[in-house]
Amino acid sequence: MKVEDEERIAANLSKIMAMICIRNTRLEDLHAGMQPVTLTGDYSDVRVIDATGQTIPWREVSHVDDAQMADLMREIVNRLFTFHMRRDDPSFRDHLERWMTASNKWDNPVLDTAFLDAVAEPGAAPKTRGA
């Protein structure tokens, strides 16, 4: 198979998996709601006041608690697992074809060099954001 064909297939598969296995999850609930206004463009001018009266800069506020993150990751892993287990099922593939129209409007993916560098580090322990 030509490299261009492999890249096209991988790009399409990546976009459809991102859409149906990640985007349409509890992530949508976390994304919903009011978005604060920033005049600086970097949210350095936005503050959150919690129930105790503590003022926290927006960029330092945790926007997802541990339970929400665990639920989100569990849902994503289950969807990715289901995707892989059903990828050869004709009715599942028909369902994917319908979603492909929407995901094809997204930008094409590019190789994530930071990810590749992190994976290539010999003896490095896996890192998670916020851990």
pLDDT tens digits for range 19-62? 989 988 888 888 888 899 999 999 999 999 999 999 999 999 98
* pTM of the model as a whole: 0.74
Q: Delimit the domains of the chain by residue range.
A: 3-116
CB 30 within 8 A of CB 68: yes
| Amino acid 126: pLDDT | 59
Average pLDDT of the residues of the chain: 89
| Amino acid 50: pLDDT | 94
Distances (CA, A) of 47 to 31, 32, 36, 53: 18, 19, 9, 11
Q: Give 24-43 as a DSSP string.
A: TSHHHHHH-SPPPP-SSSSS
| Amino acid 129: pLDDT | 58
| Amino acid 127: pLDDT | 61
